[in-house]
Homo-oligomer: A and B are copies of this chain.
Amino acid sequence: MNKKKTIPAATVNRLPMYLRYLKELAQKGDTVISSYDLAELAGGNGPQLRKDLSYLGELGTRGVGYDVESLIHQISEFMGLNKEQSVAIIGAGKLGTALFGYEGFAEKGFKICAIFDTDLQKVDQKINGLFISDIKDLERIVGEKKIEICIITTPASEAQKVADKAVSSGINAILNFAPVSLKMPDRVVVRQIDLSIELQILSFYKAL
Interface residues of A (CB under 8 A from B): 2, 4-5, 12-13, 15-17, 19-20, 42-43, 78-81, 85, 87, 94-95, 97-99, 101-102, 104-105, 107-108, 110, 148-149, 172-175, 179, 181, 189, 191, 193-208
Contact = CB atoms under 8 A, between A and B. Distances in A.
Contact of A199 (B105, B196, B205): B105
A195 to B, nearest CB: 6
A202 B19 CA distance: 15
B204 A80 contact: yes
B203 A173 contact: yes
28 contacts: A12-B201, A12-B205, A13-B197, A16-B197, A19-B200, A20-B179, A20-B197, A79-B203, A79-B204, A80-B206, A87-B199, A95-B99, A105-B196, A105-B199, A107-B196, A108-B196, A108-B199, A110-B199, A149-B199, A149-B206, A173-B206, A175-B198, A175-B202, A189-B202, A189-B205, A191-B198, A193-B193, A193-B195
